[in-house]
Structure 1
Amino acid sequence: MQYDVIVIGGSYAGMAAALQLLRAHRSVLVIDAGLRRNRFASHSHGFLGQDGVDPAEIVQSARQQLGAYPTLTWVEGVAEAASGEKDSFIVATDDVARHQGRRLLFAAGVSDTLPAIEGLAERWGVSVFLCPYCHGYELKQGRIGVIATGPMSLHQAQLLPEWGEVTFFINDAVTLDAPMRDDLAARGVTIEETPIARLDDHADVILAGGRRLSFAGIFTASRNAPATPIAKGLGCALAETPMGIQIQTDDTKETTVPGAFACGDAARVPHSISLAVGDGAWAGAQLHRSLVWA
């Protein structure tokens, strides 16, 4: 069969978009690989009505609510390629199936490229974080480390004193001029020039030479890219952001390929569940309008 919309990615943005379409009696296929970006976190914060809830519970509840709509088809699998054009797209999945849709929505999120520091990846989402609004409060204004990865790290170091006492690890990743140093000093930020050897225990930083600094939590700026290259393979333009690469869209969330849309972390910055849900809801409404006035 041909679906009205094929949604690639069944996390927060994809489900929010699908909900708008299902409520408009449209047939929707969601293809989901089950790899939520926040799968490493035990609690979600800053999402109105769901503050402190396990992200897996939020997703499960949303999935059950979508399942009440008879025009939903859900496929657990990996979308591997997309081809075609407006009103006649084809998405191939890892089970060799080929699905037809009038519209496409890319909502598969992003991948995070983390600093190549021993012990960091294992602590991602547990004691090493990206967003202070999502994880800062739980650190109880304790000691916070910020590991530089590039220009965005300076912004993190300037902002995080709102949540605790900050040490900024340059780690040979950023150059600070005199005004930057003066600003950090005015905010009470300690600048640490010694490179990092590894992370240890809950959130301990071991410096080259063996010195150990302990923190309540650590923040760092990962570099993002769409979690799947399918949009690029279809011909959608990509855009550079301070956080990495995202899918380029217009105000209606349509990509540079007519009939193909994108939303969520892969198509906007900054990132959070709240923003992903809002972006998905907007994309779903715009997709519906594109079908009405095709």
Structure 2
Amino acid sequence: MQDVLVIGGSYAGMAATLQLARARRKVTVIDAGQRRNRFTTHAHGFLGQDGKDPAAIWAEARNQLLAYPSVTWIDGHAEMVAGDKDGFTITTKAGAVASGRRLLLATGLADQLPEVDGLAARWGKTVLHCPYCDGYELGGRAIGVLASHANALHQAELLTDWGTVTLLLNDAVAPDGAQRNALALRGVVVEETPVATVQNKADVLLSDGRVLHFAGLFTTTRTSPASDLAARAGCALAETPSGTQIWTDDTKATSVPGIYAAGDVARGAHSVSLAVADGAWAGMQIHRSLVWPQG
């Protein structure tokens, strides 16, 4: 019986595990190897690691965790959850079984991109979602914002601090007069013509044959938990403007006693830095729940 089972060995899951290991608690991490930022080769805005390959950050963090004798790592896909507080059991797709008193879901999110030809192939490279992570590298050049829902208006206004912005409505949003005025005040150009395809680095071929050249494209994905384990366990979910996440309280506890959630799957804003902070907080709160189970 472990103290804690951590489902998801990315940044939030590892940050939580570090806090628990340093509290001398027994932790098993079950990781399916599907980091959300696996499509990119550079992590930006992460203090002390700016510009480093996220795969290298992950590998170094994992090696540091495994130096703690109380940490066990299982490579596998967590498929089934059973039991309750002080007696959870996780079974992987390969049949491995682990038991623990607490359960942390740090499975991350799956991104559903707008259905535009050529977009998915450039995801994490020149098709991006976080200006704080990738805006600086565009060097103040032309930026396209491909609308997927109303959040694109806010995204386009924000991105003008990183370059000259064109908002591609693509029949996804229809800004009213006040919204168009707000965009104009920020210098955003609004393009009404639908997008046919994305080509070359980040060029956009419009349906009327025109080609717009951009240093990078930003869009907002539709998100959902990368694993259905929370739903299987009966955890409440929450709807956000961009999708679905696991509901948690201020201690990162879910609606099911003994189950916690952290990282992108359990918070609104997403980045490596925020995932690490969220995971560290969750690890501390889980430890306290073990010390004061009635607290």
TM-score range, shorter-chain basis? over 0.9
Return the letter of the residue paired with 2:92. T
SS state at 1:35 partner? coil
Q: Distance in 2 between matches of 1:243 and 1:49?
A: 30
1:269 aligns with 2:268: yes
Return the letter of the residue paired with 1:61. E
Which residue of structure 1 aligns with residue 221 of structure 2? 222
Which residue of structure 2 aligns with residue 92 of structure 1? 91
The alignment's TM-score, normalised by the length of structure 2, stands at 0.98
Q: Distance in 1 between matches of 2:100 and 2:218?
A: 41
The alignment-based identity, stated in percent, is: 60
Return the letter of the residue paired with 2:196. A
Deviation at 1:267, TM superposition (A): 0.2
SS state at 1:162 partner? coil
Q: Distance in 2 between matches of 1:126 and 1:158?
A: 22
Which residue of structure 1 aligns with residue 180 of structure 2? 181
Q: Distance in 2 between matches of 1:264 and 1:243?
A: 16
Deviation at 1:94, TM superposition (A): 1.1
Which residue of structure 1 aligns with residue 155 of structure 2? 156
Q: Distance in 1 between matches of 2:9 and 2:292?
A: 26
Give the 5 Å matches for 1:92-241.
92-241=91-240
SS state at 1:75 partner? strand
SS state at 1:92 partner? strand
SS state at 2:160 partner? helix
1:34 aligns with 2:33: yes
Deviation at 1:209, TM superposition (A): 2.0
Q: Distance in 1 between matches of 2:257 and 2:58?
A: 30
Q: Distance in 1 between matches of 2:199 and 2:45?
A: 28
Q: Distance in 1 between matches of 2:97 and 2:136?
A: 46
Q: Distance in 2 between matches of 1:50 and 1:34?
A: 21
Which residue of structure 1 aligns with residue 4 of structure 2? 5
Deviation at 1:269, TM superposition (A): 1.1
Return the letter of the residue paired with 1:86. K
Q: Distance in 2 between matches of 1:217 and 1:9?
A: 30
Q: Distance in 2 between matches of 1:256 and 1:36?
A: 25
Return the letter of the residue paired with 1:71. S
Gaps of at least 5 residues in structure 1 are none
Q: Distance in 2 between matches of 1:145 and 1:268?
A: 26
Q: Spell out, residue by residue over 1:165-213, the C-alpha distance to the aligned partner (whole angstroms, 9 max, x if none).
A: 0000000101100010011111111000000001000000000021111
SS state at 2:104 partner? strand
Q: Spell out, residue by residue over 1:222-254, the C-alpha distance to the aligned partner (whole angstroms, 9 max, x if none).
A: 011110000111000000111211100011000
RMSD: 0.6
Return the letter of the residue paired with 1:111. A
Q: Spell out, residue by residue over 1:111-154, the C-alpha distance to the aligned partner (whole angstroms, 9 max, x if none).
A: 00100000000000000000000000000000000000001111
Q: Distance in 2 between matches of 1:14 and 1:97?
A: 19
Gaps of at least 5 residues in structure 2 are none
Return the letter of the residue paired with 2:248. T
1:260 aligns with 2:259: yes
Q: Distance in 2 between matches of 1:13 and 1:99?
A: 20
Q: Spell out, residue by residue over 1:253-278, the C-alpha distance to the aligned partner (whole angstroms, 9 max, x if none).
A: 00000000000000001100000000
SS state at 1:191 partner? strand
Q: Distance in 1 between matches of 2:269 and 2:229?
A: 22
SS state at 1:146 partner? strand
Deviation at 1:83, TM superposition (A): 1.5
Q: Distance in 2 between matches of 1:193 and 1:243?
A: 22
Return the letter of the residue paired with 2:28. L
Q: Spell out, residue by residue over 1:22-52, the C-alpha distance to the aligned partner (whole angstroms, 9 max, x if none).
A: 0011000000011111011111000000001
Deviation at 1:80, TM superposition (A): 0.5
Q: Distance in 2 between matches of 1:81 and 1:188?
A: 51
Which residue of structure 1 aligns with residue 241 of structure 2? 242
| Divergent runs of 4+, >3 A | none
